Amino acid sequence: TAVPATAGPPPGIVNVAHRGASAHAPENTIEALLLAARQGADMVEFDVRETRDHALILMHDTTLARTTDVESVHPGRAPWRVADFTLDEIRELDAGSWFGSAFRGTRVPTLREALRAMSRTRLGLLVEIKTPRLHPGIERRAAVELRRSWDGPLVVQSFDWDAMRAFHRLMPDVPVGLLGTPSPGELRGLAAFAGQINPPYRDLTRDYVRAVQALGMQVFTWTTDDPGVMRRLGSYRVDGILTNWPHVLARL
């Protein structure tokens, strides 16, 4: 099926800021997303999970411990799983101090806030749905929010390929990306619903990239901050590169 111009990524090797410009601002925050635009990224990647009351928020880890001050605010609630806290509780947390004192008071954004902030830029989104099995129904609720609040370039990806098969049925015009490295024999079956195959860059060869693209899919690979590696991936003709340093990739 033809993908509308707004659904997929822009043409050329797409410069994707991993968790926002996460080398210079705390990952998965509005600050990191907007900084990516200033650093020359074409798209931002971020991670989505659900709170106990089914609010969609940006958070990479299963728990809040690494990227917020939850341990000191709620010392008795280990292991501080995202899915055990309400949105109101998470909104009270500081999601910036762990990264640097200049970011003290930064809040965990909701998906809606991230979409609103990014709609003021020209960037596209690579939205990763994190461990959908821990958040049953997250594909459907994410589709509702994306449909309501985003009309720019968009790809949705996950390590859970079944969840992406389900998401494709919910939003057939939005390309889905499969994180990981399917065997060459699996690619043809996956091409029935996937728009991208997104392996770690160490797994890639020129032939693998060619095999994916021959089936009409793209390759967005992750995650490197090394200009030499970026050049090599360019020579493999990948479609997109994820980096914490979008300004470095933008200069190449």
What amino acid positions are annotated as catalytic residues? Answer: 18, 60
CA end-to-end distance (rounded Å), the chain: 33
Q: What are phi and psi of 235, to 5 degrees?
A: -70, -20
Least Å distance between CB 128 and ligand G3P?
A: 5
Among 34, 93, 154, 242, binds ligand G3P (CB under 6 A): 242
Least Å distance between CB 222 and ligand G3P?
A: 4
Task: Using CB positions, name the residue nearest to ligand G3P.
Answer: 222
| 164 within 8 A of 179, measured Cβ to Cβ | no
Q: Please tell me the count of residues contacting ligand G3P according to CB under 6 A.
A: 10
27 binds Ca ion (CB under 5 A): no
Which 8-state DSSP code applies to residue 10? P
The residues, any chain, with a CB within 8 Å of residue 137's CB and separated by 6 or more, are 54
47 binds ligand G3P (CB under 6 A): yes
Alpha helices in the chain (DSSP H): 30-38, 70-73, 87-91, 111-118, 138-149, 161-170, 187-190, 206-214, 227-235, 246-251
Among 31, 50, 128, 145, binds ligand G3P (CB under 6 A): 128
Encoded amino acid at 227, one letter = P
Among 128, 139, 145, 239, binds Ca ion (CB under 5 A): 128
50 binds Ca ion (CB under 5 A): no
* Contacts with ligand G3P, residue ranges (CB under 6 A): 18, 45, 47, 60, 128, 179, 198, 222-223, 242
